[in-house]
Chain A
Amino acid sequence: MTGPQGLPRLLAGLHADGSPMTLADHRRVHGDLRRTQPAELIQAIDLAGLRGRGGADFPTARKLRAVAERRRAAVVVNASETEPASGKDKLLLSRMPHLVLDGAVLAAGAVGAREVIIKLGEGAHESLAGIEGALAVRDGDPVSFKFALGPDRYVAGEESAVIHFLNGGQAKPTLVPPRPYERGYQGRPTLVQNPETLAQAALIARYGANWFREIGTDADPGSALVTITGAVRAPGVYELAFGTPISDLLAAAGGSTEPLQALLVGGYFGTWVEATRALGLRLSREDLRSVGCSLGSGVLIALGESACGLHESARVIRYLADESAGQCGPCVFGLRAIADATAGLAEGVAHARERDRLLRWTSEVRGRGACHHPNGAARFIESALEVFSADIDWHQSQRCTARPVGLPLGGPAPDVRHALMEAG
Chain B
Amino acid sequence: MASRLRVNPIMCEAHGLCAELLPELIRLDDWGYPIIDEAEIPRELLGLARKAADACPTLALLVDEDR
0/1 interface trace, chain B 1-45, chain A, CB 8 Å (1 if under) = 000000111101110000000000000011111010000000000
User: Which residues of chain B come closer than 8 Å to A329, judged between CB atoms?
Assistant: 9, 12-14, 31-33
Please state if B9 and A333 are interface contacts (CB–CB under 8 Å).
no
0/1 interface trace, chain A 316-337, chain B, CB 8 Å (1 if under) = 0000000000011111011001
Please name 10 pairs of A and B residues whose Cβ atoms are closer than 8 Å in the assembled complex, sorted by A: A174-B10, A175-B9, A328-B9, A329-B14, A330-B29, A330-B31, A331-B9, A333-B30, A364-B29, A369-B9
User: Which residues of chain A come closer than 8 Å to B31, judged between CB atoms?
Assistant: 329-330, 333-334, 337
User: Which residues of chain B come closer than 8 Å to A368, judged between CB atoms?
Assistant: 7, 9, 33, 35
A interface size (C-beta, 8 A): 15
State A329–B15 Cα separation when bound (angstroms).
Answer: 11
State A361–B32 Cα separation when bound (angstroms).
Answer: 13
Interface size class of B (residues with CB under 8 A): 10 to 19
Query: B-side binding surface: helix, strand, loop or mixed?
Result: loop
State A334–B33 Cα separation when bound (angstroms).
Answer: 10
With both beta carbons as reference points, the residue of chain B lying nearest to A360 in the complex is identified as B30
- Measuring CB to CB, which residues of chain B are less than 8 angstroms from any residue of chain A? 7-10, 12-14, 29-33, 35
With both beta carbons as reference points, the residue of chain A lying nearest to B62 in the complex is identified as A175
User: Which residues of chain A come closer than 8 Å to B30, judged between CB atoms?
Assistant: 333, 337, 361
The 8 closest A-B pairs by CB, nearest first: A328-B9, A333-B31, A329-B33, A327-B10, A370-B10, A330-B33, A370-B9, A364-B29
User: Which residues of chain B come closer than 8 Å to A331, judged between CB atoms?
Assistant: 9
User: Which residues of chain B come closer than 8 Å to A364, judged between CB atoms?
Assistant: 29, 35
State A337–B32 Cα separation when bound (angstroms).
Answer: 14
Partner of B12, one of A174, A328, A334: A328
User: Which residues of chain B come closer than 8 Å to A328, judged between CB atoms?
Assistant: 9-10, 12
With both beta carbons as reference points, the residue of chain B lying nearest to A329 in the complex is identified as B33
Other than the given A327-B10, A329-B31, 15 more pairs (CB < 8 A) read A174-B10, A328-B9, A328-B12, A329-B9, A329-B12, A329-B33, A330-B29, A330-B33, A333-B30, A333-B31, A333-B33, A337-B31, A361-B30, A364-B29, A368-B35
State A175–B8 Cα separation when bound (angstroms).
Answer: 7
With both beta carbons as reference points, the residue of chain B lying nearest to A357 in the complex is identified as B30
State A369–B13 Cα separation when bound (angstroms).
Answer: 13
Please state if A327 and B9 are interface contacts (CB–CB under 8 Å).
yes
- CB of B11, distance to nearest CB on chain A (Å): 8
Please state if B10 and A175 are interface contacts (CB–CB under 8 Å).
yes
